[in-house]
Structure 1
Amino acid sequence: MKRNKLGKSDIYISQLTLGCMSLGTDLKKATYIIDYALDQGINHLDTADLYDFGKNEEIVGEAIKEKRDQIVLTSKVGNHFNQQTKTWFWDPSKQHIHQSVKNSLQRLQTDYLDFYMLHGGTIEDPIDETIEAFEQLKQEGLIRAYGISSIRPNVIREYIKRSSIDGVMMQYSLLDRRPEEELLDLLYKNEISVLARGSLVKGILTSDGLNQIEAKAKGGYLDYSHDELNTLLKKLATIAPANVSELALRYVLTNPAVTSAVFGASSLTQIKETISGKLEHKLSDDVFEQLKLLTKANSYQTHR
């Protein structure tokens, strides 16, 4: 599988990233999924301390402890949680970040993270303090690079101006084209990688899409009504009758700003379908423009 450079760092990640949030708490099952991903050329795993209140990091750490050197490992921080009460609050302070990375490293059974992201963020945050915390972790060798997971244009712009981030994780898909309007070109120009999450839209852009619409999007999705989703999916199937997920992933990977598309899997069946496409082939200009005509050029309204 093709690997792309993460920002200005010396880290190269596969064009698909396995998002670990959906792995569940069955270690054997999670290990099967992770091993299959590695066998297929995926080298980048993404987790977060908040997922299952630390349990996800423990599962990932146990699954990869004998193969850590094969993996680019990412985790996220910023949600100050209590494992007993299952509650949390937003905390981007230096103190919390420094303590949390130690906790994450212990759960993941490793002495460093390749990539560490702020798990959200608002314009009211103490941004310079947050950046200082990440820079110190980098100097100490606890992380190799850092970034943010955010869809807020105003927050992203501040980090572009003030920090040396190497990547931004954001929601980007055929049904959520908001980043195209004001973020993708800006990040590309500043050599900051985009990690596109949600590109399969909760399973809607897969072979099981019609069922997923009924299960997860009866009220619609972003600018799309329930009926529009059904109609669009049927049209997409005429373009890619064998694999709608391949079409969806190739669309986001076509943009040069996108370094990797992040997807989740809770079963081997799901991961096999996602990886089965010929993602190394770029979409033709005709198909790319056809997809843009079929979908909506959304824009950010409330999330600024």
Structure 2
Amino acid sequence: MDKRVRLGKTDLYVNPIGLGTNAVGGHNIYPDLKEETGKDVVREALESGINFLDTAFIYGPERSEILIGEVLKEKGLRQDTIIATKGAHKFVDGKIVMDNSPAFLKAAVDDSLKRLQTDYIDLFYIHFPDTDTPKDEAVGALKELKDQGKIRAIGVSNFSIEQLKEANKDGYVDVLQSEYNLFKREAEKELLPYTAKSNISFVPYFPLASGLLGGKYTKDTTFNDGRAKSPLFTGETFIKNLEKVEQVREIAQAKGAEVAHVVLAWYLSRESIDALIPGAKQPDQVRRNLKTLDIQLSNEEIDKIDRIFQ
């Protein structure tokens, strides 16, 4: 299904279900990734009507952007695709540090353009704040690049409300990407009200809470990665979280849908959330994510899900 929506105040029109691509070439995030499978995921997205791809320098590093650039060139679909990428990470003596300086961001955009094999980026985010650069100066550098036609929209990611307000002093910020899901709702206190008031589009990451909101886990599921130490996935909290997910499953089953589809549809009912970027490691996951667009939630169902996770 191809239903385009406007991303905030930008001139970017996207399918509300995009594709997060940290599993496309993101060898530093997921071990044992096959790059050809990652390219198949991107191909499937493009062939299925997804036109919003979210990547970053640090996915790989560099490999995700490179693979996406290769697929877009092969498919000849650059004009039809909205590419979002991010920069801020740099390596100093083998360690990663954040840099938001105007000189670094301008160089980061140029480097991303080469890897993506394109002459413009639709949406460029400052991936993480650094500790030194005034945020309005950092965004001012991106505004220069926007005026030059190198980028079409300006985003910031992982910014606190204070950093976001400073970054948006001149009204140049178009999109905020931040962690938000039904188990992690801090963004509702200040970030979401501010983005709604400022016509900034809010793109949540980890929308399925590392799979917990996907409805696939039971109390017997064990984890051998970072989730094994996460409070969400351990002890009584894990059991209670699964009980909440089961209440969503009742809504999903009545619609002949999966839990994940209902959860994603709930986010799209929130003010200032125009689009989502669930990830995928296999092409069939891309097709499943798109089923979200078939879900119509009533006001009663929206309120019920809200109450379950309060």
TM-score (norm 2): 0.87
Cα 1:142–1:107 shift into 2, 3 Å? same
Map residues 178-257 of structure 1 onto 2, 5 A cutoff: 178-210=186-218, 214-215=222-223, 216=227, 219-221=230-232, 225-241=237-253, 242-257=257-272
Map residues 25-104 of structure 1 onto 2, 5 A cutoff: 26-65=34-73, 66-81=76-91, 87-104=95-112
Q: What is the identity, as a one-letter code, of the residue corresponding to 2:137?
A: E
Q: How many pairs align?
A: 293
Q: CA RMSD in A?
A: 2.3
Q: Residues of 2 paired with 1:9 and 1:155: CA distance?
A: 21
- Give the secondary structure class of the aligned counterpart of 2:210: helix
Question: Percent identity at matched positions?
Answer: 28
Q: Deviations over 1:216-246 (max 9, x none)?
A: 2564229982222222222222221340001
Q: What is the identity, as a one-letter code, of the residue corresponding to 1:220?
A: P
Q: Which runs of 5+ in 1 are unaligned?
A: 297-304
Q: Deviations over 1:143-198 (max 9, x none)?
A: 11111012522212222333411111112222122222222232122111111221
The answer as to whether partners of 1:7 and 1:191 remain within 8 angstroms in 2 is yes
The answer as to whether partners of 1:151 and 1:171 remain within 8 angstroms in 2 is no
The answer as to whether partners of 1:159 and 1:165 remain within 8 angstroms in 2 is yes
Q: Residues of 2 paired with 1:41 and 1:116: CA distance?
A: 22
Q: Residues of 2 paired with 1:213 and 1:188: CA distance?
A: 38
Q: Residues of 2 paired with 1:219 and 1:45: CA distance?
A: 28
**One of 83, 97, 106 as aligned partner of 2:114:** 106
Q: Residues of 1 paired with 2:247 and 2:81: CA distance?
A: 38
- Give the secondary structure class of the aligned counterpart of 2:297: coil
Q: Deviations over 1:84-103 (max 9, x none)?
A: x7632111001111111111
Cα 1:56–1:219 shift into 2, 3 Å? closer
Q: What is the identity, as a one-letter code, of the residue corresponding to 2:264?
A: L
> Would you say 1:6 and 2:7 are equivalent positions?
yes
The answer as to whether partners of 1:19 and 1:45 remain within 8 angstroms in 2 is yes
Match of 2:305 in 1: 291
**CA displacement at 1:212 relative to structure 2:** 10
Q: What is the identity, as a one-letter code, of the residue corresponding to 1:187?
A: T
> Would you say 1:260 and 2:275 are equivalent positions?
yes
- Give the secondary structure class of the aligned counterpart of 1:227: helix
